[in-house]
Amino acid sequence: MTQLSSFKANWCSTPGSSILDLIEHKNIPKATLPSLLNISISALEDLLNGFKPIDDHMAENLSNSIGGSIDFWIKREKQYRDDLKRLQLVPKEEVLKNFDTEYVIQSFNFFNPKNTEKLFLSFFDTPDFPSWKNKYEMLFQRTLFKKSEKLDFKKLSLATWLRAAEIHSKSIVVENLDTSKLIASLDEIKELTKEKDPKIFIPLLKDIFAKCGIKFVVLRTPTGCPVSGAIRLYDNNPLLILSFRFRTDDHFWFTIFHEIGHLVQHQIDELYLEKELNEKETDIIEKEANLFAERILLSGLDSTELERFPINHRDLIRRAVRLNISPGILVGQLQHHGIVSYQHFNNLKRRYTWEEIFSTQ
């Protein structure tokens, strides 16, 4: 027989794989685990994927509900963490060097920490670096974003922004998701595009989305995060995040309706990210979200009808009134379709300061 006692595999399995094996063997439905373990659905997924560590309390819950001794689960957790460290999956020093501590401190009024590593792990709510990398690599594998095999520090900035939005969203109370109610609210949301003051339209948007079962957060991005908006499933509800990139009304409202397009047309089991407004989109799902936003904002007009628009200030304002949108949004659409240069008519767009935007928070 071959001696395998010193063999070290170049992989490791999460304790979640043992949980799944055990419930399959005992014919315990996976859907019953949240109630058996007294945790949320998202916490269960974190547990199964190795993001949430098994502490003494969880080990006892597992032992009582699906079997295995408390000692077994504690040892299984330790084995997994030791294997992760052995594989050295994360260049910890590089991550810490590129972690935007200033953004985190300013966003959450933290004191400037002496221990960056402690701040990092606390902020991301992960026990160690391998777990963090595993968690966010799995997230980015399911995202419509430019991927690379190695750690991309734009992704680190993105992960920081997404985590900050999660933290901000925890205090938001929403109803159950109801996309039919969201569709019925489209005219009400479109009416807000004419409102000039973000202190008025952002709270109203939050209220509309909450009634439709959607958490809505407006949050500035850290350095190196070129994202305008995102939508993902978090804690059993869609979480809609906007960065107010470029701080103009056309960009903000197009992103709003683009993300709504994802909500009403697509299954929210991916992370959808909105990048540059003028970036050529090749993905069919993103094209569908773009077309949805255009149909709402332009009341069904197509590009050939847009091309016949008189191109002067007075007529653009008149057309915007007829479309029930702000002139800046119309200009943004004409620019996006190449009918008007990006250098022209920008004075019709509303521009906001960060102070105006975040006085609503």
Domain ranges of the chain: 10-87, 169-358
Contact 293, 327 (CB under 8 A): no
Which pLDDT band holds residue 303 (cuts at 50, 70, 90)? low
Q: What is the pLDDT of residue 178?
A: 94
Residue of 103, 132, 158 lying closest to 275 (CA atoms)? 158
The answer for residues whose C-beta is within 8 angstroms of residue 8's C-beta and 6 or more apart is 86
Window from 172-181, 231-240, 271-280 with minimum mean pLDDT: 271-280
Q: What is the pLDDT of residue 208?
A: 98
**Options 3.40.47.10, 3.40.1190.20, 2.40.110.10, 1.10.260.40; which CATH number does 10-87 get?**
1.10.260.40
Share of the chain above pLDDT 70, in %: 84
pTM above 0.85, yes or no: no
Contact 321, 178 (CB under 8 A): no
Q: What Rg do the C-alpha atoms of the chain give, in angstroms? A: 24
Q: What is the pLDDT of residue 147?
A: 32
Q: What is the pLDDT of residue 4?
A: 31
The SS3 assignment for 92 reads: helix
The string of pLDDT tens digits covering residues 312-337 is: 889 889 889 989 999 999 999 999 88
Residues 112-135, mean pLDDT to the nearest whole number: 83
The string of pLDDT tens digits covering residues 229-248 is: 888 888 888 999 999 988 99
Which pLDDT band holds residue 281 (cuts at 50, 70, 90)? very low
Higher pLDDT, 100 or 153: 100
Kindly report the three-state secondary structure assignment for every residue of 116-129: HHHHHHHHHCCCCH
Q: What is the pLDDT of residue 278?
A: 42
Which pLDDT band holds residue 58 (cuts at 50, 70, 90)? very high
Termini Cα distance of the chain: 66
Q: Share the mean pLDDT of the chain.
A: 83
Q: What is the pLDDT of residue 87?
A: 59
Q: Does residue 339 carry a pLDDT above 50?
A: yes
Q: What is the pLDDT of residue 253?
A: 96
Q: Does residue 150 carry a pLDDT above 60?
A: no
Q: What is the pLDDT of residue 187?
A: 95
> According to DSSP H, which parts of 266-299 are helical?
284-297
